[in-house]
Amino acid sequence: MLTLEALLEPLAARVPYSYVGEPNIKFRGIALRATRKLAGGQFVVLVDSHWGKRAREKFGYPDRTREEVVNDAHHHGATGFIVNERLRDEPFLEGKNCFFVKNTLDFAFRLVETVRAVTAKKAVAVTGSAGKSTTKAMITHVLRSLPDQPEIYSPPSTDNIFTSVTCQLSRMDNYDYSVLEVAGSAFLRFHTNSFAVSPDVSMVTSISEAHLDYLDDLEGVARRKARLFDRPPPGGTAVINLDTACADRLVTHALEQGCRVVTFGETPEAMIRLVSYDPASKRVVVEADGTRTEFTVGAVGKHMAINSLAVLATLRALEVPGWPGALESLATFRALTGRGETRSVALPGGTLTLVDESYNANPASMRAALAALADRPAAGGRRIVVLADMLELGAGSADIHRDLAPALEPLADAQVHLVGENMAALFGVVRGRLPGVRHWQSVEALRSTLLAGLQPGDVLLLKGSNGMKLTSIVKALQPTSAVTG
């Protein structure tokens, strides 16, 4: 484990600071929140004017004095503090371990760079328009199954903005492997502050129409996500889905940055290629370097099989011994809540199968979920599809929704409910082709009719952006449900 003393000299080469306190203490990273118990060895950062408005609102404690923040953090176990040098003479900091700096945001970034430079521990970072949370969870699942039981740091996928990722990277020396998710919005803040995540394995799972309200087009999405490949460490590997839009841009940027590039996908040019996937047995056949590997993925759908190729690429890049055997642990992997989790729901006279994709949605994940449903047997019941609006797609949102029409064609015998203003555009295209399609203005308008009509044997897919609140239907079914996949 790192000591603060081991960081002081290399840190001074990156950024000026004044340190007052005990140097020979454990260093276990930085934290921004100070209202709950902290791990021993953590330094709390007091945000200053250099942090963005949202970060200051979230972590600046406008309703509390700095003295109250420091005292509370000290009470909860903070080992030290990183504060603006203007606070040097404040009495409430007397006797505490403190870094006094001109800019606490810049210092936090430089501190993380120093930790990355001195530790031998490995970091994996995942981004993408779709599949990043599931792929991160898959990698974590496999690493935790290894015989030597390494320590894995895998914070919640919702903690993926720049403040969270910065804190997470500062703690990586405490673990054998850190597996992190990075939101696209984080890269703008990182780039502006001349900081790069620099993981040992950097991965882009997909590029799709997401956040087009500020990224304009797919090229803009790819440019933003490709920042994950910036400034790799020696031997750093970029893992890229060769099937996705703008894959050539991703590969080019990774090579320009000096990454070793590993591609995956169904295309014959992929270095790790999906040979076949059997939805009934969930068996995956993969070819890499002329050698075929077979394993089972517990979560349902070809998109899950594609995600598993990225897991294989990660294990190889990390030089995990016996990685083919480690992949067998994916047989017990289950999809995440809101991202494909499957539940068996009790109904009078039997059960229905609920596929919960209610947490988020973009065109890539929509198509993947619909393809997986088309491959799933309905066990004598009906397939019921509820698609709610995909949000944050900008001015072209209606056209993007219309373009989902071909993905519904394999489900021509399904009962389809389209919900929301944008889904009205899709409804206009498919209502003459799909006899079982209806449009609803809101989830509230649909919910009671949908729930009253469910029958044993049905398979129900719920897919939409989180803001559309399909979770209200999930919650209505949860008291009588059990996770099955």
Chosen domain end from 87, 110, 133: 110
- Over residues 211-254, the pLDDT tens digits come to 555 556 888 889 999 999 999 999 999 999 999 999 999 999 99
Q: Last residue of some domain: 311, 332, 353?
A: 332
Does one domain contain both 283 and 234?
A: yes
Structural domain that includes position 185: 119-332
Do both 63 and 130 map to the same domain? no
The CA distance from 471 to 463, in Å, is 10
The string over 338-366, giving b where at least 16 C-beta atoms fall within 10 Å of a residue's C-beta and e elsewhere, is bbbbbbebeeeeebbbbbbbbbbbbbbbb
Q: What is the 3-state secondary structure (H, E, C) of the chain?
A: CCEHHHHHHHHHCCCCCEEECCCCCECCCEECCCCCCCCCCCEEECCCCCCCHHHHHHHCCCCCCHHHHHHHHHHCCCCEEEEEHHHCCCHHHCCCEEEEECCHHHHHHHHHHHHHHHCCCEEEEEECCCCHHHHHHHHHHHHHCCCCCCCEECCCCCCCCHHHHHHHHHCHHHCCEEEEECCHHHHHHHHHCCCCCCCCEEEECCCCCCCHHHHCCHHHHHHHHHHHHCCCCCCCEEEEECCCCCHHHHHHHHHHCCCEEEEEECCCCCCEEEEEEECCCCEEEEEECCEEEEEECCCCCHHHHHHHHHHHHHHHHCCCCCHHHHHHHHHHCCCECCEEEEEEEEECCEEEEEEEECCCCCHHHHHHHHHHHHHCCCCCCCEEEEEECCCCCHHHHHHHHHCCHHHHHHHCCCEEEEECCCHHHHHHHHCCCCCCEEEECCHHHHHHHHHHHCCCCCEEEEECCHHHCCHHHHHHHHHHEEECC
Kindly give the confidence (pLDDT) of every residue in the chain, 485 residues in length, as a single tens digit, with 9 standing for 90 and above.
Answer: 899 999 999 999 999 999 999 999 999 999 998 777 888 899 999 999 999 888 888 887 777 888 999 999 999 999 999 999 999 999 999 999 999 999 999 999 999 999 999 999 999 999 998 899 999 999 999 999 999 899 999 999 889 999 999 999 999 999 999 999 999 999 999 999 999 999 999 999 999 876 555 556 888 889 999 999 999 999 999 999 999 999 999 999 999 999 999 999 999 999 999 999 999 999 999 999 999 999 999 999 999 999 999 999 999 999 998 888 899 999 999 999 999 999 999 999 999 999 999 998 889 899 999 999 998 876 678 999 999 999 888 888 999 999 999 999 999 999 999 999 999 999 999 998 888 899 999 999 999 999 999 999 999 999 999 999 999 999 999 766 666 76
Do 30 and 170 contact (CB within 8 A), yes or no? yes
Q: Which of 332, 356, 381 is the last residue of a domain?
A: 332
260 plus 144 within the same structural domain: yes
- pLDDT score recorded for residue 35: 72
* Contact present, 311 and 330 (Cβ < 8 Å): yes
How much is the pLDDT for 478?
78
Count of other CB atoms within 10 angstroms of residue 214:
12
Cβ neighbors of 176 (< 8 A, separation 6 or more) are 121, 122, 150, 151, 152
CATH number, domain with residue 374: 3.90.190.20
The CATH number of residue 92's host domain is: 3.40.1390.10
CB 11 within 8 A of CB 52: no
Q: How many domains does the chain have?
A: 3
Answer yes or no: are the C-beta atoms of 369 and 444 closer than 8 Å.
Answer: no
Model pTM above 0.85: yes
| 302 and 402 together in one domain | no
Determine the Cα–Cα distance for residues 437 and 430; give it in Å rounded to an integer.
Answer: 8
Q: What was the pLDDT predicted at 220?
A: 86
Look at residue 272 in the predicted model and tell me its pLDDT: 98
Q: The CATH number of the domain where 136 resides is what?
A: 3.40.1190.10
Query: Distance (Å, rounded) from C-alpha 180 to C-alpha 247?
Result: 22
Beta bridge partners of 240: 204, 263
CB atoms within 10 A of CB 176: 17
59/180 same-domain check:
no
Query: 258 and 392: one domain?
Result: no
Positive or negative: CA dihedral 318, 288, 370, 251: positive
Please tell me the predicted confidence (pLDDT) of residue 100: 98
> Are residue 326 and residue 345 in the same domain, yes or no?
no
Residues 363 and 456 in one domain: yes
Q: Is residue 26 a contact partner of residue 7, using CB atoms and an 8 Å limit?
A: no
Are 257 and 134 contained in the same domain? yes
- Report the relative pairing of strands 201-204 and 237-241 from DSSP bridges: parallel
In a shared domain, residues 286 and 147: yes
214 lies in the same domain as 234: yes
For 42-79, the pLDDT digits (tens) are 999 999 999 988 888 888 777 788 899 999 999 999 99
pLDDT value of residue 378: 65
For residues 289 and 350, membership in a common domain is answered with no
Query: Any idea which residue has 């406008």 for tokens?
Result: 62
Instruction: Please state, in angstroms and as integers, the Cα–Cα distance from residue 306 to each residue in 129, 133, 282, 287, 327, following that order.
Output: 14, 14, 12, 12, 13
